[in-house]
Amino acid sequence: MIADVDVAVCVLEPEVRMRGTPMDPGDPSLLFDDTSAGGNRHEHSGVGQGPDVYPGQALLSHPMSNLAMAYGSSLASHGKEMMDKNLDRFVPISKLKYYFAVDTVYVGKKLGLLVFPYMHDNWDVSYQQDTPVAPRFDVNAPDLYIPVMGFITYILVAGLALGTQNRFSPEILGIQASSALVWLIIEVLAVLLSLYLVTVHTDLTTIDLVAFSGYKYVGMFVEVLAGLLFGRMGYYLSLLWCCVSTFVFTIRTVRLKILSEAAAEGRLVRGAKNQLRMYLTMAIATAQPVFMYWLTFHLVR
């Protein structure tokens, strides 16, 4: 009786298989494919490849892929060279770098020269092998850093002044910035046209004109700030001081570019053409205080 029970238990007990042991795929008792040994199957099927080989790696190691990458890199570098060459025709990047070659010492000296130019004696720009030295080595050299920073500071202080009067809005501030920029462009174009009409050949470039015309933004910033701190009386006093200082600074710097060498050395100016150059220098210097007042008087009340 006991033997019969053992035989029945053996018949009813399911067949137990150890994990990882191979199984006959034709076994009718299998409902799904056995994937527990997939790792071993992968190892056997990937003969000749490491465990970290990806499908795209073989594509990148193909010789044609390397050739395409080299060609693409060469094409990109050639396109960059062409873009830099064409851009330099319209925007002289290499020349602009010269006008921004400044340091802290130069900025401090230049600001002091703009505010108080009366004690400065030597206004000549230093040269090295027929090339003017960088502004950081010569305080007399024109730059664009101070005009750009002066313009930005003037716009910020103008927005502050409008805010204290409850007149601030992004549109008004945009109009203020646009007006200052447009008047600067008009001034530079007018000077270039005047130089062309009087047929004056000078070393004064367009960027030099932008720099000399942009120095007035430093005085405009001082005027508006004085008006905010001390009212209209402070504004008019600072306006008077900054206008005279800017006028003197412009006369002493621009005349070296426009007037003849004899006039630059302080000798008597003779000839109709030299007289026209002197008048043009005076007109450029006189225009600076006019714009300084025109662009600031409505900001102080």
- Rounded distance, CA 160 to CA 177, Å? 13
- Rounded distance, CA 15 to CA 266, Å? 117
- Rounded distance, CA 250 to CA 214, Å? 11
Angle of helix 272-294 relative to helix 170-197, nearest 10 degrees, comes to: 170
pLDDT computed for residue 193 by the predictor: 92
pLDDT computed for residue 255 by the predictor: 86
Q: What is the DSSP letter of 13?
A: S
pTM as predicted: 0.69
pLDDT computed for residue 57 by the predictor: 54
Q: Taking the mean position of all CA atoms in its chain, how far away is CA 261?
A: 37
Buried b (16+ CB within 10 A) or exposed e, 145-168: bbbbebbebbbebbbebbeeeeee
- Rounded distance, CA 288 to CA 247, Å? 7
pLDDT in tens, the chain (301 residues): 444 544 444 444 444 444 445 555 555 554 455 554 444 444 444 444 445 555 555 555 566 666 667 767 777 776 666 655 555 555 567 778 899 999 999 999 999 999 999 999 899 888 888 788 999 999 999 999 999 999 999 999 999 999 999 999 999 999 999 999 999 999 999 999 988 887 777 778 899 999 999 999 999 999 999 999 999 999 999 999 999 999 999 999 998 888 755 444 444 455 666 788 888 899 999 999 999 999 999 999 8
Collect all residues with Cβ–Cβ distance below 8 Å to 273 and sequence separation of at least 6.
Answer: 198, 199, 200
- Rounded distance, CA 123 to CA 131, Å? 17
**Phi, psi (rounded to 5 degrees) for 127:** -125, 150
pLDDT computed for residue 85 by the predictor: 57
C-alpha dist (Å) from residue 272 to 241, 253, 259 = 33, 22, 12
Tokens 């006959």: give the residue: 24
C-alpha dist (Å) from residue 127 to 47, 137, 196, 277 = 73, 10, 26, 23
pLDDT computed for residue 39 by the predictor: 45
pLDDT computed for residue 143 by the predictor: 95
pLDDT computed for residue 277 by the predictor: 82
- Rounded distance, CA 144 to CA 135, Å? 10
pLDDT computed for residue 92 by the predictor: 65
* Structural tokens at position 47: 């003969």
C-alpha dist (Å) from residue 61 to 45, 51, 107 = 21, 17, 55
Angle of helix 272-294 relative to helix 206-214, nearest 10 degrees, comes to: 40
How many Cα neighbours within 13 Å face the side chain of 257? Answer: 24
pLDDT computed for residue 9 by the predictor: 43
C-alpha dist (Å) from residue 232 to 216, 294, 297 = 20, 15, 9
**Domain boundaries of the chain, sorted by first residue:** 93-297
